[in-house]
Amino acid sequence: MYQTDDFVHLHVHSEFSLLDGLGRVDKLVERAKALGQPALALTDHGTMHGVIPFFRACKSAGIRPVIGVEAYMTRWGRPMTGRDSVDDKDRHHLLLLAQNQTGYRNLLKICSDAQLEGYYYKPRIDAEYLAANAEGLICTTGCLAAELPSLLNPEKGALPQERLALDRLHWYLDVFGKDRFFIELQEHDIPALQTVNKTLVDWSARYDVGMIATNDVHYVEARDAAYHDVLLCVQTGSLVQASDRMRMSGGSYYLKSGQEMRDIFRPLVNLPESAFTNTLRIAEMCDVDLEDKSFHLPDTDIPEGHTYESYLRQMTDEGLRWRYGARADDPDVQARKEHELKIIHQMGFDVYFLIVADLCLYARGRGIWYNVRGSGAGSIVAYSVGITGIDPLVNNLVFERFLNPGRVTMPDFDLDFPDDQREEMIRYTIAKYGADHVAQIVSFGRMKARAAVRDVGRALDVPLDEVDRIAKLIPAIPGKPVTIEQALGRDAKKPDLVVPDMVTEYESHDYVRELLDNAMALEGVARHSSTHAAAVIVTDQPLTTYLPVMRPQKAVITEAVTQFEFPICESIGLLKVDFLGLSTLTVMREATRIIRERHGVEFTLDNIPLDDEESYKLLSSGEVSGVFQVEGAGLRRMLQDMQPSEFNHIVAAISLYRPGPMDFIPEYIAVMHGRKEAEYVHPVLEPILGETYGICVYQEQVIRLLTDIAGYTAGEADNVRRGISKKSEKVLIQHREIFAEGSKARVGLTRKEADAIWDALMGFARYGFNRAHAADYAVITVQTAYLKAHYPLEYMAAMLQVERDNSEKVAYYITDSRRMGIEVLAPDINASGMDFVVEQHGEDMPPPVGKDSRISYTFPIPPGAAIRYGLAAIKNVGEGSVQAILDARQDGGAFKTLEDFCQRVDLRKVGKKALECLIKVGALDQFGRRAQLLDAMDQMIGISKTGHEAEEAGQLTMFDLFGGAAATAPASLRLKDVPPMSPKERLALEKELLGVFVSSHPLQQMTVDLTGIITCFCGDIDETYAGKNVVLAGNVVRINEITTKKGAKMAFVTLEDLQGQCDMVVFPKVWEATRDKWQQDKIVLVRGKADKRGEQMTVICDEVQDYVMRAIDLGGDADNSARLPVQPEFVDANGSARSAAPFASPARLAEEEVDYDTSSSESDNPFALEEPDWLREAPAMWEDGGGREKKETGE
């Protein structure tokens, strides 16, 4: 039973006053409701992030929402655009409340312009701007930091300026009038505030100005004061115990009852009752409605004489002839078209399809590869107008899964573009619709459990090691964050998430209890704002008609960012388009470019076949590194078991390989290969589930089960599917009956049969995947498999080019290229380009070291073909440095000598650091040994500088200086006879700067055949090895020593051989005994057991042997390397050495069982058909070339 109260809080900060307010919007509203207060205001600092959730929470609770903001004002007379470090650093607070819709629109404008035009430390407005936008707003004198109180309470040493404050009072009264301007009083046990209050109370009576009492609310309840104090320390980076930090003392900044408000004021200032009842009056004055059920789609250009409906129909009809040819007039095609166009028009989304089609048309015209993901692939209209590339009829896709007339929500096409051309697509959108109509969307980083513990730990000055230890007790489950409350066993719905060790720590130690109590209070609170990775809003009217915007942060393309998160933007009817960067599309574009240049074969979005036999052989082989979506060990193994032979198999594989349906994979494969009969709950299911061997894999199959068996419409069926997946009790109970009745009438099922199917349907609907989405991805999977199968050299070169800034991926793909039989050559100043390039050498070129003779797929690699390492992929060598070298090489040909290189390349542009790295990785090896070149660097730079400075001064040309007949050649560079680098040093530098060994590999220095000792290569370790004993030899790439929760030391180690890398776990007992054996860039022989944890494969180390470390540690030439003993000795967990002989046999190793203690641990070418005019004309629409050319020319 709620009480009633005759007071309203009008000055309230939520968590969206970032790191200043602690109250969550729903909790604030819940508290006001519990107190019986009829209304509540939200007035965050300078932003309106929370107003829509706040409005809806208030409406749901049955109280009146008052929408406001505590804005920032410049000093009197200073413009909001001022940026003077002295005059503009100070600012005042200003409380503004929206009285009506006009006031709300003005608040949106004020908050937006303060961000975009007035930002200087804070988003500010000035007096002139406020006066021009004051209509519909209620204003108060504000808190102690506002203008009038500041004049009455000047900084230390200054006198109060009552006369000036009074002038300002009359200015505000002139702007707002007495009906919309109020004197605001607060009481927080601050002497200065009490002094100011007395003057303000006097002025209220003297000048007949209404007065209100407020509380500067920053948290919900009194008990939150200590948590809020910690939050302030997180904001300022201070310690709680610091004496000179910012604090809000007294614990009074919470949502008080009306009686509490009266009790704190009256002993100090004898306020009239009107100061409290005026809060009710203001709340009643404020009437703003933020629920907007309409859609605000922007206009787009269409030919004269057309409506959006008629033009979409025309495009669809033309597109059907392009996609289907003679089949365009087939009854099923035409019926589907008419069905979709009717629904699209009825829902008002004709223009939406035209907008997205225009984006795709622009991309085609610019040669920008794209993919549309999501349920939109179920639309034949989208397929016809060139938005999607999947035939929804052939693939049994359901339109209502995308656009459901029974659930009116904005449709959503997610657009994938090459990651280096995504920005171009957004800029096109800005150019077409206007910068004030397009914005990226804000997102909020919230304090997750571990982060909250660490933030609080810093504020409480808990030792870092202890904070880290406690934080790591909270399980890190990807996609399913565990809260502190759950880890402590306080969530009755999730008892399985309790962490006993954490409960023990909490109950045993006061400091842990304090740490976790504070962290629980802060967990989930907004910590900072950022920008959504993909979403962009496009509006019909200027953005501030509908929402507030804020200044963009780094790496933001649009001129503004919304202050509302994307679900809010969508809920108020705004068009959201997701522009996603997908590096795989970049790889495909670059691979097809190289293919075109080398072979003259032109591939496009539409003509890479999906029914090519070699593509499926490659996928079945598991040689899928670089193939979209299936690179992971689990999916690779699944494909090897499945042996897919058609597109639908890949769609199913992507859909099944997820938690839940993953359990059905063995059955799917067994039935697929005839080892088992498909089982159906009832024969009526076979026509629907037959294509997936009796298993309901897709959401679209659930919809068909409901429509075909029980007579639901597709829209109704999709709503039921959604209800079942959300475990809605209402849906489960109501539709069991409806399904039983419908199935009896339609196919004659008994109640028992209907119930059996309905029960099966429950599981199907919860685990079914969106087939349209899987099909979109499967297209790219099969197309990338095609490119890798037929053009492996070009495809791997493109992979390396796109990943050149990621040294780990570069190392991975170089290793894989060599496994396939593709040599990757070291950087060369005369041969390398900016990126990785394909080279052709003589047919007698030997195969690369690292080629895997056991590889299960034979790649068509031309003899003598290789990939050359790109110069811009070298660490510390930027594109500008490389371009200076390439320009000189293009003008004068290959560099013949070191002098020639220094004379023609302006090494000032290259930079000393870049030159050093080029030498260290061997790019200049043809001119001398690396040690000699490093020693001569200053000489090289000096010669280059002298010549180029002379040229710039106009004294002579480079031809005169270095090549003219009358010129005197400069003295030759003399390289000193300095000691050469050892193989160990050379390889270490290559690894550091390239991420991989290119001239050779440490294991190549070995003069012993390791294949008789090891059981497999590092790159072989996958699920098939889980639980088996293995012996590996490799180079130690990475060591990460950690402390366990029990205080013991252990390590995670990455080992690399010629075939790849694997991760190793060295538990405390073994680590203690073998720590001296592990050193980075050393070779070791390891015995252990392969272990699968989630999706990750590791090897749990049991023993290690480092005798082979001497192989490249002698500092001399390779032929001085040590030989392995016939029987290498291992050191085990007890520090004991023993021979490897008992387990040197791979066959024996595979059988041996050892206990390990882990307790601490379509059509081929649619373009062959006639293209519609709007598609055929696309390239001509943009004659300035594609995005790639623009990038390369630096325009």
Q: Tell me, what's the pLDDT at 676? A: 95
DSSP E strands in 1019-1148: the ranges are 1029-1043, 1049-1057, 1060-1066, 1083-1093, 1096-1105, 1129-1131, 1137-1139
> What does the pLDDT read at residue 587?
98
Q: Is 514 exposed, middle or buried (0-12, 13-18, 19+ CB in 10 A)?
A: middle
pLDDT at 157: 62
Query: 827 phi and psi, to 5 degrees?
Result: -60, 145
Q: Which of 410, 413, 573, 578 is nearest to 52 (CA)?
A: 573
Instruction: Assess contact for 526 and 15: CB atoms under 8 A.
Output: yes
Q: How far is CA 278 from the centre of its chain?
A: 48
What average pLDDT values come out for the chain (1195 residues) when binned by 10 residues?
78 96 96 97 97 97 97 94 90 97 98 96 96 97 94 76 93 97 93 90 95 96 95 93 88 95 84 94 96 91 96 97 95 97 96 97 95 94 96 94 86 94 96 96 94 95 92 84 92 87 93 95 94 93 96 85 95 94 97 97 94 97 95 89 96 91 93 95 94 94 94 92 83 90 94 93 84 95 98 97 91 90 94 94 82 86 94 94 96 93 94 96 94 94 88 62 44 81 86 81 60 79 85 88 83 84 91 89 88 81 71 35 40 52 32 33 37 49 34 32
Rounding to the nearest 10 degrees, give the CA dihedral for residues 328, 613, 372, 318: -20
pLDDT at site 766: 78
Tokens read off for 684: 């009526």
What is residue 201's three-state secondary structure?
helix
∠ at Cα 324 (346, 585), nearest 5°?
85
- 885 vs 1094: CA distance, rounded Å: 47
| Helix 422-433 / helix 350-365 crossing angle, nearest 10 deg | 130
Return the axis-axis angle of helices 308-324 and 331-346, rounded to nearest 10°: 150
Query: Coil, helix or strand for 657?
Result: coil
Q: Tokens representing 1157?
A: 């203690």
CA distances from 696 to 155, 481, 751 (A): 73, 29, 22
In this predicted structure, what is the pLDDT of residue 422?
Answer: 95
Q: What is the pLDDT of residue 968?
A: 40
Q: Give start and end residues of each alpha helix (H) in 726-864.
A: 729-747, 751-767, 771-790, 792-802, 807-820
The confidence score (pLDDT) of residue 1161 equals: 34
Q: What does the alpha-carbon distance between residue 42 and residue 1025 come to, in Å, rounded to a whole number?
A: 59
- Dist. CA 419–CA 583, nearest whole Å: 5
Length of the chain: 1195
CB count, 10 Å around CB of 844?
Answer: 7
Please list, in sequence order, all residues whose beta carbon lies within 8 angstroms of the beta carbon of residue 493, skipping any fewer than 6 positions away: none
Q: Are 1065 and 1161 in contact (CB under 8 A)?
A: yes
- Placement of tokens 């108020």 in the chain: 572
Please choose, from the candidates 101, 102, 119, the residue with its C-alpha nearest in 3D space to the C-alpha of residue 46: 119
Q: Where are the alpha helices (DSSP H) in 911-1023?
A: 912-920, 930-935, 937-952, 958-962, 983-994
Domains in the chain, CATH or no CATH each: 25-220+255-285 (3.20.20.140), 292-418+1162-1195 (no CATH), 608-785 (no CATH), 800-948 (1.10.150), 1000-1151 (2.40.50.140)
Q: Which helix (H) or strand (E) holds 66?
A: strand 64-74
Q: Are 210 and 182 in contact (CB under 8 A)?
A: yes
